[in-house]
Structure formats: structure tokens, C-alpha cells
Amino acid sequence: MSVFSCAAFDGHEQVVFGHDPETGLKAIVALHSTVLGPGVGGCRMWAYPDEAAAVTDVLRLARGMTYKNAMAGLDFGGAKAVILGDARRDKTPAMMRAFGRFVESLAGRYITAEDVGIGTDDMAHVRRETGHVLGLAETSGDPSPFTALGVFLGIRAALAHARGSDELTGVTVAVQGLGHVGADLARRLHEAGARLVVADIHRDATDRVAAATGARVVDPAVIHAEPVDVYAPCALGAVLNDRTIPEIKAGIVAGAANNQLAEPRHARMLADRGVLYAPDYVINAGGVINIAVEHGPAGYDVARATALVQGIGDTMSRIFAEAARTGRTTAEVADAMAEARIRAAAAKKKAADAA
């Protein structure tokens, strides 16, 4: 397939394919923008149905990281990596070291970290081959709890905007996807008094969360249509589409998944139905904020990371208020804010180059 003709291609600076026959590594790194700094984004391992699906995903994810890092106020550009394969079956330490060599070949333009199917143990293997890696166990560790914290705060901000109170007691939340982030979000919501409906493709994940929280377990294919107050997509993207949106009964959609909108127009479709949508790359930025602290000159400090993630709720509140004031969708407001920062940085860089 042609990368340039792919619908998800959005002026990406570089798309690189990596293959290691000995370990079976098949990986793609997409660098969307390095205007704000080196491209930073996690590495996802997933059993894609074909190469075209992997290319589409990595292009969409990399673009999302550009906007996420811009909105989080970080001096990072946007990039992402995907490894084609089943993380539970195919992943090996040797494969992760091969991926590390692939990252090293990009000479610092891309800095990797954990994502779906990849954990801190995997990053330790990657680190043996490259220094361009964040989220190490001995530094900032697993970023998932910080992602979950940001989503939790974003849900409270959405409730405050929609209902006038961020109280979670008695609120029913449907959490779709119970990986590291989804499970931790479910824990936080349960401890705050929310009632939970959960779904995951893995039975062991739903069993653990249901036992800990008393959640009701439903089929992942129908959880979006549950009669709940908040729908929190925390698995893969494109779950907000022509088929699912008419079936959504929740008044708020706020979750950790990347690229929840199948197409940009679906933000308007949600708004027209009276559903308050929390732009995913804003609400789920806690993880990258955490690893940004690790990357900073002062080194990692958990208190500083937590304080920065706390700002996600305030950012969401500003987006909701601006969308209500202007009649734009929340996605349009967030995009405009991110693009303004990127344009300003590009202009400053151009002026410096011309001096």
C-alpha cells in the first residue's frame, strides 16, 4: 500500500519500516511532527489483520501524539511505533532488543515508551540497545496510573460541566477495555463511589475488576449502548462511529483510548445528540506528562509529575466552556488550541533560522 495515499496520512515527516528476520520483528515508526521537539510516543504491539491496518493505526496515533504533546505544554513532537504481532504469544526479549536497535537507527528523532501490549520489562530490553526510551522501571516506571489519573480528573470535569457537580457517588460509568489504564481507572472510579459496567476481550481481566469493584460485566461489542451516565472507551480507537453513536445513551464520553473518533465529523455527530465528548488526546495525556518529567533536566520526581497531571481537569474545563460559548465541538476547540501552539513554535523557529 502507499503511505502517501493512505487516508490517515497528514503530512507526516517520516514513516520508517523495520524488520528483523531472526526475531520476527515487523515494526513501523511514524514521525508526524518534530516542530516542538523530538517525536515522543509509545510503542504498541497488536495483532493487526494486515499491514494496511497497522499503517493506518500508526499514522493516526502519531498525529494524535503531536496534538497531545502540544496540549500538554510539552516540548515534544508527535510520533508512534507499532509492532505487528500478538503480544501474549509472539513477543520475546530478543524482539524487543531488535526494536531498540531500530529506534537507535533514528538517531534521537523518535523517543519510545510503553503502550498497548508493551510494559516496563519490555522497555528494559529496548534500553539495552538505545538511550531513546522513557518509562523505565527504575525511573518513572509504568505511565498507566498517570494516564488513568488524568482520565479520572477529566471525567470529574465533564460531570461538573454537564451537571454542576463532579460528585461520582451514584454515577454509572461504562469502562471499555481493562488493560493497565482501564483497570486503574475502574479502581479510582469505584473508590470514588461510582457504579461500574465493564468489558474486555480477555475474561481474566474482567474477572479481576469485577471481583475488586463489583462491576457488572457485559460484551465488549455492546458496552457503548449501555444505559449509563459516562462511557469511557479505554481500548482501541474508532469506537465512535456511524454505527455506535446513535446507540450511545451516556451523556458523557470520556476515556483513555486514542483516536476514539472514527472520523473528525463524528465530534459534531456527538454534539448534535447532546453528548459531551472529552477529546481523547487531552484527557489521556497523563502518561506522557509523567515520562516528560523523567526526560527533564532535573530528573524524575513523582510529586511534580502528579501535580502536572492534575492540570488535565482544568484544561478539560476550559475546552468545555469554550465549546459551549462558541458552538464549536470540543474536538474543534482542542485542535485549535494545539495548532496555535505548534504554529507559534514553527514561526519562532523560522525566525531564529533566518537570523
For residue 91, indicate whether it is catalytic: no
How many other C-beta atoms are found inside a 10 Å radius of the C-beta of residue 124?
A: 16
d(CA 31, CA 60): 11
Number of neighbours of residue 354 by Cβ within 10 angstroms: 6
Q: In whole angstroms, what is the distance from residue 336 CA to residue 259 CA?
A: 17
Sign of the C-alpha dihedral computed for residues 265, 234, 41 and 309 taken in this order? positive
- Whose grid coordinates read 460531570? 159
Strand positions, DSSP E, 37-186: 39-40, 43-46, 77-84, 110-111, 172-176
**Catalytic residue (one of 26, 68, 80, 91):** 80
Phi-psi region of 107 (alpha: psi -120 to 50; beta: other; left: phi over 0): left
Helix (H), strand (E) at residue 209: helix 203-213
Phi, psi of 43 (to 5 degrees): -105, 125
Which distant-in-sequence residues (6+ apart) come within 8 Å of 250 by Cβ? 174, 226, 228, 229, 230, 231, 275
Residues that are catalytic: 80
